[in-house]
Chain A
Amino acid sequence: MATRTTAISVRGLEKRFGEKTVLNGIDLDIHNGDVLCIIGPSGSGKSTLLRSLAFLDAYDGGDVHVFGRMIGWRETPLGRQRMSAKELADVRRPLGMVFQHFHLWPHMSVIDNVTLSLRLVHGVPRTEAEETGRAMLDKVGLAAFADRRPDSLSGGQKQRVAIARALAVKPKAMLFDEPTSALDPELVGEVLSVMKALAAEGMTMVIVTHEMGFAAHAANRVVFMDGGKIVEEGAPQPMFAAPKSERLSQFLQTWRERAL
């Protein structure tokens, strides 16, 4: 199941919200260095799948292993038990997450946002943390904004700070939940550039997105979801050029019509 090169492995993943089954048996392996895009119509379960990888939503069936360790649940002789908060934080450590609505902490400066976890969780002293923080901000092109407040930033800038914040704690894999969906069109590019650069450096990335251009050019794998299942997966260019399923065909068609 988990090999040396597997970052995250998913087997038979199921998730229900009340009566509704949102994830209906997902099998997926994400290898180190993969840039995987999850695409699909609204309600297909894309975000739920991503969030389940980090156990931000508790899955009901199947399992998710993160760098060899099952996340969220412990198998005991009495059945499945929830992990303690401490254990969960430990398993989550190698993961970084970027949210659709950025979720920067508005009452702190940008640099404090980026360094808070380094200082509080990783015990890094302030001066060293600030060095790392500023380096990360520089990486996303926002070195000059370190002492600003989040509310003085544009959406694109906020999201780049969020990426810097996630990078500062040196994750082994990064999850992106529709990172550009909440942005004005002209701000999308600056965030995608940062993400492309990360991908080029070899970061393992799982991205839920509607940006087909990004999926086509920056991803090495694409997964198309519909109705809680993976309908098609493979390398983006061949998949988009010759979709095997009717559903993907329709989906790509509507996207092409809109893009023009």
Chain B
Amino acid sequence: MTSGFLSDLPLYASGLLTTLTVSLAGIALSVGTGIVLAAALRSPLLYISLPIRLYVEFTRGAPLMLVLFLIYYGGAQFGLVLNPYVAGVVGLGLYGAGAFAEIFRAGFNAVPKGEIEAADMLGLTPGQAFRHIELPQALGLTLPPSIGQAINLVKESSVLSVITLAELTKVAGTISSITFAVVTPYLTVALLYWAIVESLSRLGFYLERRLAVKGY
């Protein structure tokens, strides 16, 4: 069993790399889209904020697997052919954006409106008030839930195996079909995911402490 494991090491390594890069890309796309959505949610124009609201609620209840199928297989129906990696990143990105939008919206809402009024009365432009008053405080408030959501997306990245992306979960399946050992590969992969999740958690605590020291 051990020699088998060592010879499988390159496969695990490549799977791990794929999982890490696709998760990172998916998280980045999610965060970026989430910021735009959160800004749009603040709009007083109903025809802007309402569709965004619906989108956020929709991604709450939608399983990632079906979102991926929709993009990967459904897209092909329109002639939109994406490779599994790109489809995976886009899927993760659009799927996770809703949660980030909600996190950012709540974070900015939590900054007391009176502090902005005080800034207005002291002559600060809306841009200055945003940069110096709202953003620093919102950042401190949104960091913990953002780390949590990033961790969720890393776990969800295992679903990308169903659109044939060779990330960790798919690699485990590949190895088990070669070696006929079924539990060991999946257990190994579980431990690898766990290690990633734990590391992100620790990173989150560290960042929180650093922000607290700076006084946000």
Contact = CB atoms under 8 A, between A and B. Distances in A.
Contact of B123 (A105, A121, A149): A121
Interface residue range, chain A? 20 to 34
Given A105-B115, A106-B137, A107-B140, A54 B121 contact: yes
A2 to B, nearest CB: 22
B114 A121 contact: no
Contacts of A92: 120-121, 123
Given A103-B115, A107-B216, A96 B132 contact: no
Interface in A214-242: none
A122 B118 contact: no
Nearest to B123: A121
B25 interface: no
Interface in B131-182: 132-133, 136-137, 140
Contacts of A210: none
Given A97-B117, A104-B115, A120-B124, 15 more contacts: A56-B120, A89-B120, A92-B121, A96-B121, A97-B118, A99-B118, A103-B114, A105-B132, A105-B133, A106-B137, A107-B215, A120-B128, A121-B124, A121-B128, A162-B118
Interface of A: 54, 56, 85-86, 89, 92-93, 95-97, 99, 101, 103-108, 116-117, 120-122, 149, 162, 165-166, 169
Interface of B: 112, 114-115, 117-126, 128, 132-133, 136-137, 140, 215-216
24 contacts: A54-B121, A56-B117, A85-B125, A86-B125, A92-B120, A92-B121, A92-B123, A93-B123, A97-B118, A97-B121, A99-B117, A103-B112, A103-B114, A103-B115, A104-B115, A105-B118, A105-B119, A105-B132, A105-B133, A107-B137, A107-B215, A107-B216, A117-B119, A162-B118
